[in-house]
Structure 1
Amino acid sequence: MSNDYDKSGENEATQEYKTYGVTPPISVNPPTEKELKYTETLIETLKKFGLFESEEDARKREIVLGKLNTIVKDFVKYVSLKHHLPESVANEAGGKIFTFGSYRLGVHGAGADIDTLCVTPKHIQREDFFEDMYEALKKRPEVTNLTPVTDAYVPVMKFYFSGIPIDLLFAQLQLSSIPDDLDLSNNELLKGIDDRCIRSVNGSRVTDEILRLVPDIPAFRSALRCIKLWAKRRAIYSNVMGFLGGVAWAMLVARVCQLYPRAAASAIVSKFFLIMYQWKWPQPVLLKPIEDGPLQVRVWNPKLYPSDKAHRMPVITPAYPSMCATHNVTMSTQTIMTQEFKRATDIVEYIMVGVKQWPELFAKHDFFQKYRYYLQVIASSNTEERQRKWSGLVESRLRQLVMKLELVENLVLAHPFIDGFSRSTVCLNDEEGLNAAHGIFPKREKEFTEEEKQKLIENNEGRIVYTTIFYIGLQIEPRAAGQTAPRKLDISWPTSEFTKLVKSWDKYDENSMGIVVQYIKSTNLPDEVFEEGEHPKTKVKKRSKSSRVC
């Protein structure tokens, strides 16, 4: 889409009255010289953070996507033959890869993942995808860290292909074959497919619709790069943990672009934080009116569906059927994001008058210095492949623990950290294995080499325990004035319910998987959560006690 406001002056009179979105623009004024100058310094700052990939990296991504498209076609043909379809039909069944998210929006940076969608004809089932496509990818030498997440709201296969992180979704359409020129914008394609397929297809449809609905794509892209970097640096970029994912941040930025259709990126960023801080949630953010359609599919409607009414920060996708992209937001994560909007509003206000610089906006989060007490959620297992699946399942359920913690007396906030910390540990006896599953790792003068590890395992002299540790910061109600008695924080019910929930997974194996939820004081946080130059509070030797060990 071209920039409407790069056209000659003769069109300005008509352009300034064009409405993008559900309300007229707040301002159609062109950018000032100062805003253009601050936009230049913003772009320079983003480049220093490595947000623009090289031409070589761009070509590598195109090659990977080409290979992946071929693998999809081979997978569709293989399953077609497996289902006893004639070879002539199998050869014509097709299959195609679509991209969406940051890559499709043109705001991906070096090392960013590529959101992809595998579209197949009607005789290919989701089970085929997670079994046969999984096996096909597993055999490829370029593929590493292959992790299927089958129970997620949008089932996904995560992996690295030639070092590039890929999220691969699946959608089965009610077509006998998938042509290379398939256009997903056709609403009729949604007929007869299940909710999970609709959610998967809508990733691509939403991305294309966002690009159609913003007045100035270059300004939108620059502003979105800024907001994505800020959200990642402040540790609030994660849909699964109850914050916002990439598509939600993109829609919020797009909405501000609609309100200021001629603004430079720096002004859009400035307006973004103020508008989001003052937004009257749960009033939804919409890029266009919600469409009705002829299909028997659910469209977001808080008047009709109680679950939609419960959404705390609804940001609604523009492609039919409209859905809420922020259904995971909890009371705690909304509070944290609101605090971050306020912080950013204050900083950018100073930036725009020359008192502060852009890097100050992107200062790293202080999550591991912020709280006195934390919860460690430790998922453990005995093989690397099993651990990827198990830790993925535990991560996808952590939001349920956060919501249960929010009900605990004297607990103001349960703040989940957006990343887990994974490691493998050589354990020489059962005690070391049990300790590793509780986040206590043996300290050795010298780490084992890969050859030494293999020898220990072959001789039954040791085993490897794989762990992923997630953290939740606990903000406790301060003592009332004059109160001296100790306060109790009983989290036994939330932790017990959470462990029951994850153990109810149909692939859970108590002999090879473990789950532990325990308190830890800030003074006992492990070194791995801190970067060089950062330091925790003074450590004490005493370990924290488990509040719940399962």
Structure 2
Amino acid sequence: MATTQITTSSHDTALCILPPRSTWPRIDRLRSRYDKAYGKWPPHINLVYPFVQVDALPRAVEAIQSAVTRDQRSFRACLDSADVFNHRNDNTIFVHDNTESNPLTDLRRVILESLGQEDVGGYRMHMTIGQSEDVNASWHRFLLQKANSLPTVEWTVDELHVLVRERSPAGGSEMRAWATISLEDGSIRRLELPKPFYDEPQPSAEDEGLPYTYTEGDIWRKSPGVDHAKPSSAAPATLAVATYNVLAEFFHPPAQKRYPLIVKNILSDRAKADVLVLEEVTDDFLAYLLKNEDIRAMFPFCSWGPPDQDDVEPLPSHNNIVVLSNQMFEWESVPFHREHKGAVVVKFQTIGQQDDTVFRPLILAAVHLTHGLKDGSITAKKTEVEMILKYLAQNYVDHPVILTGDFNITTSSYTITQALEKNAVSSQAVAHLRNFDRSFLADGFVDTWAVSRLERGTASRDDLETAFEGEQGATYDPTANPLAAEITGSGFNMRPQRYDRILVKGDDYFKTLQFNQFGFLTEALQEDGKDVTLHASDHWGVRAILRLGPEPESQRSAVVGARVVPVQLKSAQNSLADPAALLDALKQSKSIPSEEEIEKRASAFKLLQSVITEPSSSTAPDQGRSSPQLIVVPVGSYGLGVWNSSSDIDCLCIGPFSPSTFFALTTQRLRKASGKGIRVIRRVKAFTGIMLELDVQGVMVDLQYAPSHAIAENWPGALEHPASSPVWALSAQTLNKFKPVRDLDYVRRSVPDITNFRLAHRLIKEWAKRRGIYAAKYGYLSGIQITILLARVYKLLAHEAAVVSIPDLLTTFFNHYANFDWKKDLAFDPFFHKQLNYRRTDREPMAIIGYFPPALNTCTAASVPSVRTITEEFQRADRLLHDEGMTWAQFLAADDGNFLQSFKRYIKIDVQFWGGSLTKGRSFVGWLESRCVSLLVDLKRRLPELHVRFWPARFVEKMEDAAEDDDQGSYQGFYLIGIDKPKETVTDERVIYDNLITTLARFGDQIRGDKNYFDERNSLMTITVAKAAEVKSFEIDHREWGRYTTGDDESDDDDDEDEEAQASSIYEDYHAVHTAAKKSKTTNSPRSVVVTKPEGAGKFRTAADVLNRLRWDPALDSGNYVVGYEDRFAGAMEKGLDIWKSEQTDDEFIPQHRILYFKRRSDGVVVWDRMTRTDLLFGSGGPAAG
């Protein structure tokens, strides 16, 4: 008779075996911390899951009963090994039977056959212990090690368990017992209602809560318990209690070099104790510690045994609290709400307070509270303190209690105040922080350090001249402990904190006889040929020696914390494999600066830094306040160390001022430093804010500013704060200013080898420049994009291979991006973006993702044509690197056709301007360049069959008088776009040409129609289609006309954010001349500026003469001059010469008799001054001739 088939597809039922209840605690100690199914499932081994539908359970159970009665009997199960199942998103760590023959496999086959199902194989018996995310991560390896360290679980399997899922109204669910099937007689025991597994406390083992003690045979065993605690006649009169955070190792395999030094400090005279509480104890460290003979002799009892002993469980967490003592005790664990957080409560069986006939054992509670100075961590600490105090009050009322451990409570007033001022923490959280001591005191606890300090004074090492309130008695001191300094980083957290404490509660039972710190023993080591000092831990330990029992009357004193594109290593061929040849090629191309250039830029940067950060004379020391903190840091190619002789220095200044105030003060300082070789070239207002272009001792510098008092004060520690930190809660515009330095900092710290990275970066940059794809504003590559692309390849390679040579790195780089699908894939650093929530839009043909917010995609100007060009260049480079005999010098020099000879036809944009103002022409040319990307996009949309390539440079004709034209104030240049029609194009060529002309005409009209930038009186722009022969005589124009992006505006006018303050600041240069006139000013009524002619003085040129000379003299740049004038209401003001209105009918007309002076913007020199009769243009105003 054929077996009726019952489908096994339901996740609401399961058939499994369960270990005996007595074994659950040792399994669940790990499951409760690492298995997300803990509480929903009991410890189990699935036989069939998914199982049958709920309504089919009765039939299925009867079929299974028949099968097991006929073919099965009870058998032994053994869980003695651990292993891992690897899944797509995580991994399952489990224990299993390591024997080859497994009766569970046969049992499963019989059961499936009874249900009419076929056993397709692949079953592997297992009991889940937990999950991990990354098999290569240390946390995964530590957990696997814990699973392997579980003592063998062995039992007789004599029944099967049927489980059903019970869903709760809140949306959760749990598996409950539905029935059991006996393997002995096949009997079925069905429950009336499904029964939960965790509805009652789990049974405890007989030795649960007992400490381990060292016995003969080099074995630690559970100490035999006693019926009840009772006082001993040998009870000590004093008790030395110590607590020590030993700093866990967080990388696998754990380094053990600190272990001997930790033990040495524990055994030192300053640390010798009767009870020792250790925090951050790992399996590896405890196994090492308990092998030491001196430790065994000093502490016969330990709350946990050595995890490397076969019958001892691993510690439940990675960081654990362990108690060692020379007195017998019992202990229990008190869990907190946060995962892996809890207290260990110890009850001494022979030490305590005898009150008449009642003996109250001494209780010691050890804690390691949540770390951190954030609202969330402070709230967690508050909850943990409340929980342990409540637990002690409910369970051990009137008992003498010691509360000790690492409290992680910030005590430094400086740290707390700074965190509050920088909005790193709320005032409410600070109130909680300052209430902890009150809470302990209200509950009857006394701080032994405070008592010792009041009675005996602090130790000499605590008397720090620079200490703030709350720093005395510090046990965590980054200023003195290199390990603590390394972990903390920098900023306001780099202050001493008193984290570790010993508190006592017990009326007159405790008397603090002595309090001291320990852990200061260090060891001198040699690492990499250098002398280094090894510290045992980042914490100092503390010890209190307590007298137990009431003090005799005679002695009493009256003092009371998916989308990754894989990279395949491509080895460089022999002719490219020599790094020295690569270095020579870079030197020949002048991509590596000389020592003189390095010194020149270092000197220029140091000078600029000193001028900007020099303390102001207005903040003198006698005023009782310090100068505001100003930070100047290099960014861009100079900051990354990939610059060459043609590179500018990009600088970012960080400070507490508003941008208007900063630039007003800085401009004044820079102009006053002109004698040191500093010249302000121009000031640019861009979408990103104001930027100063400077010449510092012949080095071009771009200076930008980001306002943030908190970051300036916490620099460079702020860089280590995560993006979610309150210190980075800034506006998008300000964050955009910080983005380059944050991205740069992360790259410098994260790439495998920064020296190799810089060499590779230089070659890629030089290659991109030569191939015409290094210009971000045209949609090509830029420095940050090369940085990201190279960093991700380098890091992905290093993740798989320990060492990657520079030639192999470069060969892999070009091969990887030659085959990269830019349309579909994102280029990002997966080591930084572990969860990338970036959504790409249809308008992004390329996505190279940066590191920090606000803007992630660095390719906002990319277009389909530019991406195609970049792809073709990567593919060309990849082919070259595979050509036999190719060298790096040949690779950089290889030219398969000049751009001017690569196309039959070109789009030619002819740009001309004339007149005296280079500023106007520069603005027009820069704005036109910024619009070229829109032309490429429009061409792609309207003429998709054409391939267009823009060359990122201006061209000029090879003419003898080109330089003379420039000197006369006129300029003509060309931009070229190569156009190519693929052979397979079916569209009629005349139609394509007509559409092309229409598109170009529309672009030309748009440019000429924008009156903000195009002035037909001094500018001309045409766009045509030219044959190759018409442009073959062109050459690239290497003159520097300034960098410009859409929205930039060159100006020295007052900043819109603070016009009034800026105006007064600018006028300060003229202050000395007009002091008397200002003091006598009593009215704002209109008046003329009248200056009496000195006796014997010659004729003085009028303001009208100067105005005309500056406007029309071709040797002078009118955009470089400003007019100082007397405003009827605001007093002295300034206005750019180019926007000065001379027509009386104009609304902004100002009479010329109100002109005070004319001044050069670039150096601040006043070239004509009415009051002092200064005239540097005509030389007038001096003594009369003859």
Contact 1:400 1:498 (8 Å CA) reproduced: no
In 2, the alpha carbon distance for the partners of 1:267 and 1:228 equals 17
Q: C-alpha distance in 2, partners of 1:35/1:165? A: 38
1:213 to 750, 762, 765: 750
In the superposition, the TM-score normalised over structure 2's length comes to 0.35
Query: Where does 1:49-448 land on structure 2 (aligned, <5 Å)?
Result: 49-73=589-613, 92-121=627-656, 123-125=657-659, 140=674, 142=677, 146=681, 148-151=683-686, 156-173=691-708, 175=710, 183-186=718-721, 187=723, 188=725, 191=728, 193-261=730-798, 262-281=803-822, 282-288=824-830, 301-302=838-839, 306=841, 310-321=843-854, 323-350=856-883, 354-362=884-892, 363=894, 366-371=898-903, 372-378=905-911, 380-382=913-915, 383-409=917-943, 412-421=946-955
**2: CA distance between counterparts of 1:35 and 1:480?**
41
TM-score, length basis structure 1: 0.71
Aligned to 1:488, the other structure's residue is in SS state helix
2:969 to 464, 471, 478: 464
Distance verdict in 2 for CA 1:35–1:172, change over 3 Å: farther
Could you tell me how far apart the structure 1 residues matched to 2:690 and 2:845 are? 23
Q: Which moved more, 1:508-517 or 1:279-288?
A: 508-517
**What CA deviation, in whole Å up to 9, does each residue of 1:228-258 have, x standing for no partner?**
1111111101111100100101111111112
Change (3 A) 1:511 1:232: same
Distance (Å, rounded) in 1 between the aligned partners of 2:702 and 2:1021: 26
Change (3 A) 1:292 1:95: farther
SS where residue 325 of structure 1 aligns?
A: coil
Q: 1:39 Cα deviation (Å)?
A: 2.2
Provide the C-alpha distance between the structure 2 equivalents of 1:112 and 1:151, rounded to a whole number of angstroms. 21
Q: Distance in 1 between matches of 2:829 and 2:695?
A: 33
Bigger drift between 408-417 and 174-183 goes to: 174-183
In the alignment, the residues of structure 1 paired with residue 690 and residue 910 of structure 2 have an alpha-carbon distance, to the nearest angstrom, of 23
Deviation at 1:214, TM superposition (A): 1.5
Q: Residues 865 and 947 of structure 2 are in contact (CA less than 8 Å); yes or no, is this contact kept in structure 1?
A: yes
Question: Match of 2:949, as an amino acid?
Answer: H
Deviation at residue 148 of structure 1 after TM alignment: 4.8
- Per the alignment, residue 433 of structure 1 pairs with none
Is 2:1067 the counterpart of 1:525?
A: no
Q: Give distance in 2, aligned partners of 1:395 and 1:90.
A: 49
Q: Identify if the C-alpha distance between structure 1 residues 35 and 466 changes in structure 2 by more than 3 Å, giving closer, same or farther.
A: closer
Matching of residue 473 in structure 1 with residue 978 in structure 2: yes
Question: Taking structure 1 as reference, are residues 506 and 128 closer, same or farther at Cα in structure 2, changes over 3 Å only?
Answer: farther
Confirm or deny: 8 A CA contact 1:380 1:466 kept in the other structure. Answer: yes
SS in 2 for 1:407: helix
Letter of the structure 2 residue corresponding to residue 67 of structure 1: L
Compared with structure 1, are the counterparts of its residues 37 and 272 closer, same or farther at alpha carbon in structure 2 (3 Å cutoff)?
closer
- Give CA deviations for 1:70-110 in whole Å, capped at 9, x if unaligned: 44447x979x99xxxxx979972343322122222222222
Distance in 2 between the 1:159 and 1:389 partners?
Answer: 18
In the alignment, which residue of structure 2 is the partner of 1:46? 586
| Distance in 2 separating the partners of 1:247 and 1:154 | 20
Paired residues of 2:847 and 2:858 also in contact (CA < 8 A): yes
Q: 1:320 to 1:369 in 2, by over 3 A?
A: same
SS for the counterpart of 1:389 is: helix
C-alpha distance in structure 2 between counterparts of 1:341 and 1:94, whole Å: 46
- Mapped to 2, the partners of 1:269 and 1:217 lie a distance apart of 14
Q: Contact 1:149/1:393 (CA < 8 Å) preserved in 2?
A: no
Task: Give the strand-richer structure, 1 or 2.
Answer: 2
Q: Which residue identity is paired with 2:847?
A: P
- Tell me, yes or no, if the aligned pair for 1:149 and 1:392 is still in contact at 8 Å: no
The amino acid that maps onto 1:38 is D
- The 3 A distance-change label for structure 1 pair 488 and 325 is same
Structure 1 residues 190 and 156, CA gap change in structure 2 (3 angstroms): farther
**Percent sequence identity over matched residues?**
20
Following the alignment from structure 2 to structure 1, what is the Cα–Cα distance between the partners of residues 624 and 891? 56
SS in 1 for 2:778: coil
CA deviation after TM superposition for structure 1 residue 394, in Å = 2.4
TM-aligned CA deviation for residue 357 of structure 1: 2.0
Q: Which structure dedicates a bigger proportion of its chain to helix?
A: 1
Distance 1:416 1:356, change over 3 A: same
Tell me if structure 1 keeps the 8 A contact 2:577–2:808.
Answer: no
Using the TM superposition, give the Cα deviation of residue 410 of structure 1 relative to its aligned residue in structure 2, in angstroms. Answer: 6.7
SS in 2 for 1:473: strand
Structure 1 residue 418: Cα displacement:
1.5
Which sits farther off after the overlay, 489-498 or 47-56? 489-498
Distance 1:134 1:385 in 2: 19
Higher RCO structure (Cα 8 Å, ≥6 apart): 1
CA distance 1:89–1:73, change in 2 (3 Å): farther
Q: Which 10-residue stretch deviates more, 178-187 or 323-332?
A: 178-187
* Distance verdict in 2 for CA 1:484–1:248, change over 3 Å: closer
Residue 478 of structure 1: CA displacement? Answer: 4.8
Per-residue CA distance 1:297-355 (angstroms, 9 max, x = gap): xx97216xx4xx532221111235561112211100111111111111111112xxx52
What residue is the counterpart of 1:457 in the other structure?
Answer: none
The aligned amino acid for 1:57 is E
CA distance in 1, matches of 2:1010, 2:661: 24
Greater Rg over alpha carbons, structure:
2
Q: In structure 1, what residue type is equivalent to 2:763? A: C
Assess, with a 3 A threshold, how the Cα gap between structure 1 residues 387 and 373 changes in structure 2: closer, same or farther.
Answer: same
Q: Which moved more, 1:337-346 or 1:158-167?
A: 158-167
Question: SS where residue 92 of structure 1 aligns?
Answer: coil
Q: Distance in 2 between matches of 1:32 and 1:360?
A: 15
Seen in structure 2, the aligned counterparts of structure 1 residues 517 and 95 have a Cα distance that, compared at 3 Å, is farther
1:454-485 Cα deviation digits (max 9, x unpaired): xxxxxxxxx52244543322234558589786
Q: 1:515 to 1:449 in 2, by over 3 A?
A: closer
Task: Answer yes or no: is the 8 Å Cα contact 2:927–2:1013 preserved in 1.
Answer: no
- The change in CA–CA distance for 1:23 and 1:146 in structure 2 (over 3 A counts) is same
Q: 1:238 is matched by which residue type in structure 2?
A: A
Give 1:440 shift.
8.2
Shift in CA distance, 492/485, structure 1 to aligned 2, threshold 3 Å: closer
Structure 1, unaligned stretches of length 5 or more?
1-12, 16-20, 82-86, 294-298, 422-438, 454-462, 532-550
Contact 1:397 1:502 in 2 (8 A): no
8 Å contact from structure 1 (residues 348, 361) kept in 2: yes
Residues 694 and 701, structure 2, Cα contact 8 Å, conserved in 1: yes
The one-character-per-residue Cα deviations of 1:344-385 (angstroms, maximum 9, x if unpaired) are: 1111112xxx52222232135722222222322526353223
CA distance in 1, matches of 2:820, 2:787: 16
Over aligned residue pairs, what C-alpha RMSD do you find? 4.3
